[in-house]
């Protein structure tokens, strides 16, 4: 999303959740490489390197909730979205062009970071390694 462009309240909340998620993974020691990576019709909210063993390139899907009206945020991600994220992660070469080739060669996975603000405070839930649809 472009900063400075008039956006809906929902878009502003989503951008704020992405900001919080980027701070969250950075505090875990991750390197955030890019945000809102467009790959064809798909988008990766955060593209980051998890320095754990083994080091991995991670597509992070960010979901947020400020109300319980639509259920928990993790209930709103389906197999099709996970498939899109893995496809985008496979094709994210243009987003990685400015980084060393070693980053391109890292094993890859998709994570979900949930930013839950329903109880008047911000809580994070992190689901690592969403299974690719098979």
Q: How far apart are CA 61 and CA 40, in angstroms?
A: 16
For domain 9-127, say whether CATH 3.40.1350.10 is its number: yes
**pLDDT string in tens for the chain (134-residue length):** 455 566 798 888 889 999 999 999 999 999 999 999 888 888 899 999 999 999 999 999 999 877 666 666 566 678 888 888 888 888 877 778 888 888 889 999 999 999 988 888 899 999 999 988 77
Please state the pTM of the whole predicted model.
0.86
Burial of 108 (0-12, 13-18, 19+ CB in 10 A): middle
Alpha carbon 53 to its chain's center: 20
């Amino acid at each position: 999303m472009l900063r400075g462009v008039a956006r809906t309240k929902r878009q502003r909340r989503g951008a704020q959740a992405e900001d919080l998620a980027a701070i969250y993974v950075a505090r875990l020691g991750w390197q955030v490489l890019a945000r809102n990576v467009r790959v064809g019709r798909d988008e990766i909210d955060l593209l980051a390197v998890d320095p754990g063993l083994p080091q991995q390139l991670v597509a992070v899907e960010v979901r947020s909730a400020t109300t319980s009206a639509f259920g928990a945020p993790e209930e709103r991600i389906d197999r099709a979205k996970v498939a899109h994220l893995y496809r985008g992660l496979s094709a994210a070469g243009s987003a990685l062009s400015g980084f060393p080739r070693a980053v391109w060669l890292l094993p890859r996975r998709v994570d979900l970071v949930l930013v839950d603000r329903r109880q008047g405070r911000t809580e994070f839930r992190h689901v690592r390694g969403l299974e690719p649809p098979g």
